A and B are shown apart, each in its own frame.
Chain A
Amino acid sequence: MESRNQPTTEVVLQGNEACAKAAVFAGCRFFAGYPITPSTEIIEMLSGEMQKAGGAFIQMEDEIGSACAIIGARWGGSKAMTATSGPGYTLMQEAIGFAAVTETPIVIVNVQRGGPSTGQPTLSSQQDIYQARYGSHGDYGIIVLAPSSVQEMYDFTIRAFDLAEQFRTPVILLADEVVGHMREKILIGSGNRDIRTTRRSLAVSPSEDFFRGAHTLVEGQLHDEMGRRIGHMADRSGEFIEKITRKIEDNVDMIADVKTYCMEDADVAIVAWGSVARPSMNAIKKARGIKDDRILPKFRVVRDLVKRGVKETIRTDYSHLKVGLIKINTVWPFPEAQLRQAAENVHTVIVPEMNIGKYCREIERALPDKKVISMPKCGGNIHTPKELLDKILEEEGVNE
């Protein structure tokens, strides 16, 4: 949904492939991973592309090793990434905490599948929203981006590397099976870019790469600016935890990416993140009478007739619904102020999610004066625009 001001090429890519290509473009030169559905295309593509780009690739013995290896590589000076899904992401949690406490900039892609446990290897979900924020033990801040299209898989992967370096933190790209496996035409950058902004003032740990004579001590125990342990000192440890949380939570305005569509006159807003933003967008287009160029009108009518029956399709009138979309691209840190501002003029908010209704709790907390309706959907299917519109119809009443 966005494009960049750089020389670009048009290509058709799968979401996972776009992520892999973006990593190389963003200057990532180390990938360690372990195959797991539905993220496998990323490791497959990078097993060749990474070395062609002059970087290093290793297939590790498990996801724990993969997450640890990328942290090791980053201290060696290579921007590094791993990609996984569900169970693999759970295995990486301890290393994510280590990266948070040592302030190591790494990118971890979680192409979500249905859980818990082995769960649903081939179907989509958004069940890891809280694991992405709070998955590792202890308190820390973290940045989580949620793409909803192949273009965003590409763009957000690049941004993930930039944010990781800027804030000296692990960044999670929280994709899902739907965006991971869909194919779309996108714009990709040519050449390379390698941003290594280190706002060292944000970091409270040693941050100099290895082999530069700095005698860097990377310490998993809470530590001072020299890396020396302070875990046995309550006051200083408390300050440390506050610092590594605040460097992210206090800079939401620099991180937040909240987009709005048709919100100017909206009474009802759909608040969506990740792939669910797509049917939400289509629902809004339908209600607003905006033509979707990507689907031929005739084909769309036939498809609707087949799927929902003649009567329903013809009779349902959504044209009176003033619906808008608030799309949250940076799910963590929670963009509370940005959301509040975007939802200022609506009285009702619908929150569709492919989980039992988790992120909705945050939205309820941020919008205490609005009617917030959760629309959970578990099992692997994504919401249809019709489901969303019917829910709004329930709230707003039919056109008399």
Chain B
Amino acid sequence: MNKLYEKYIKTESLPTLFCPGCGNGIIQYAAIEAFERLGIAEDVACVSGIGCSSWIPCYYKLDVMHTMHGRALAFAEGLKLARPDKKIVVFTGDGDCVAIGGNHLLHAAARNIDLTVIMVNNYIYGMTGGQKSPTTPKGSRTKTSPFGSIDEPIDACRMVTSLGASYVARWTTAHPVQLEKAIADGITHRGFSFIEVLSQCPVQAGKNVYGEKDPSKIMENYKKQTYQFRQTGQGQTSCPGLDEQGRIPIGLLHYDPEASEYLQRVEQRLHEEGVR
């Protein structure tokens, strides 16, 4: 077995409950590569919500909190405030993060609190068997949109950028190397780091949502359906959307290293007021 796996994975808990062809394994490994590269195994804790992607950290040999549907960010904020010296990584999905947890996402991004959020976006509620999520493409037929989804999908990257997240990136499971670097950069960055990962759910979304059920082909399509965004320069405040061909931007979409972080602001205010 891979050495990193032995170091970071509770092998006695294997096999994982992920379906064959699921993208979660790629993300699970990318994150431990990032932890290893940064050498933070002793100083990182993971928090997750409910859904397939929220099981990713439950196999880690780390301190892990597998919490309630939609509330991972609220738990993570409490943990971060109690231990400002530690790194907190949140694993969440499109339904967990944008639907039921939407309010917490808005406020955590607006606070620019130092958390790293990995939002696994498979366009579907996988664990419950394939229902429409807030990111499901318009027109997709799912178990709860039998006539085709009528809702405009929500772009979480643009949403958190508009609120004040200071590191926003999007990659796919077809870009594991770049994903690992983004997770490491997100953890290093002091502020709200939001990393969306397009990840395949061949079992529940497959043909009806992606038009393809073979996982390797879905991943190939990710490369065709995306374009790499290159940041135009410092001070860019917006997050790019689809290009003329309808392709999704991937890469580092927004980065503001100067943005003031929540805990820094708290400390500064307490210092100025003479409380500390």
Contact = CB atoms under 8 A, between A and B. Distances in A.
**B interface: dominant SS:** mixed
A68 B75 contact: yes
B239 interface: no
A32 B82 CA distance: 11
A61 B86 contact: no
Interface stretch (A121-129, A213-221, A280-288): A213-221
B22 interface: no
A75 interface: yes
Contact of B78 (A52, A73, A220, A228): A73
Contacts of B71: 64-65, 68, 95
Interface residues of A, number: 43
Interface string A108-144: 0000000000000000000000000000000000000
A216 B63 contact: yes
Interface in B26-57: 42-43, 45, 47, 50
B9 to A, nearest CB: 11
Given A215-B61, A215-B62, A98 B67 contact: yes
A72 B77 contact: yes
B81 A217 contact: no
Given A210-B45, A228-B13, A216 B64 contact: yes
Interface string B72-96: 0011111111110010000000000
A211 interface: yes
Nearest to A214: B63
A76 interface: yes
B106 A61 contact: yes
Contacts of A250: none
Contacts of A62: 103
B1 interface: no
Interface string B99-130: 00001101100000000000000000000000
B68 A51 contact: no
Contacts of A54: 276
Given A62-B103, A68-B74, A210-B45, A219 B79 contact: no
Contacts of A252: none
Contact of B65 (A64, A95, A218, A229): A218
B67 A220 contact: yes
Contact of B43 (A78, A211, A218): A211
Contacts of A65: 71, 74, 77, 103-104, 107
A60 interface: yes
A56 B81 contact: yes
B42 A213 contact: yes
A334 interface: no
A211 B77 contact: no
B89 to A, nearest CB: 13
A58 interface: yes
A75 B65 contact: yes
B82 A56 contact: yes
Nearest to A60: B74
Interface in A39-83: 51-52, 54, 56, 58, 60-62, 64-66, 68-78, 80
Given A61-B104, A216-B63, A71 B45 contact: no
A75 B79 contact: yes
Nearest to A210: B63
Contacts of A216: 63-64
Contacts of A75: 63, 65, 79, 82
Interface in A197-255: 210-211, 213-221, 227-229
A54 B276 CA distance: 8
A45 to B, nearest CB: 15
A282 to B, nearest CB: 42
A73 B58 contact: no
A94 to B, nearest CB: 6
Nearest to B43: A211
Contact of A72 (B76, B103, B266, B270): B76
Contact of A211 (B45, B60, B103, B276): B45
A56 B85 CA distance: 13
Contacts of B65: 72, 75, 218
A276 B207 CA distance: 64
B78 A68 contact: yes
Contacts of B63: 75, 210-211, 214-217
A214 B47 CA distance: 16
Contacts of B45: 210-211
A203 B176 CA distance: 40
A217 B64 contact: yes
Contacts of B270: 51
14 contacts: A30-B78, A51-B275, A60-B77, A65-B74, A72-B47, A72-B82, A74-B78, A75-B65, A76-B79, A211-B45, A211-B63, A215-B63, A217-B64, A219-B66
- 8 closest cross-chain pairs (CB), A and B: A76-B82, A72-B78, A69-B78, A68-B74, A72-B75, A73-B78, A65-B74, A72-B79
